[in-house]
């Protein structure tokens, strides 16, 4: 994961679990998420995968 992608993950996580879940849903639907607006499609997919992995810990 690029440093830019990692920074976006950190920004999103700092907003809390509910916000992360909402961002995951928006990314899955292809809707805009301001924190990842400057990322490529591939980087957005990396951010989405990382957010899913992080939230899986809380959903168990």
* pLDDT range class, residue 1, cuts 50, 70, 90: confident
pLDDT at 60 > cutoff 70: no
* Domain range enclosing 24: 3-59
Structural domains counted in the chain: 1
SS (H, E, C) 34-60: HHHCCCCHHHHHHHHHHHHHHHHHHHC
Q: Is the pTM of this model over 0.75?
A: yes
pLDDT per position as a tens digit, 2-47: 899 999 999 999 999 999 999 999 999 999 999 999 999 999 999 9
* pLDDT range class, residue 59, cuts 50, 70, 90: confident
């Amino acid at each position: 994961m690029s440093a830019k992608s990692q920074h976006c993950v950190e920004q999103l996580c700092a907003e809390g679990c509910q916000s992360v879940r909402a961002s995951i849903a928006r990314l899955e639907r292809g809707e805009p998420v301001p924190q990842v607006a400057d990322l490529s499609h591939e980087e957005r997919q990396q951010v989405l995968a990382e957010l899913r992995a992080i939230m899986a810990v809380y959903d168990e």
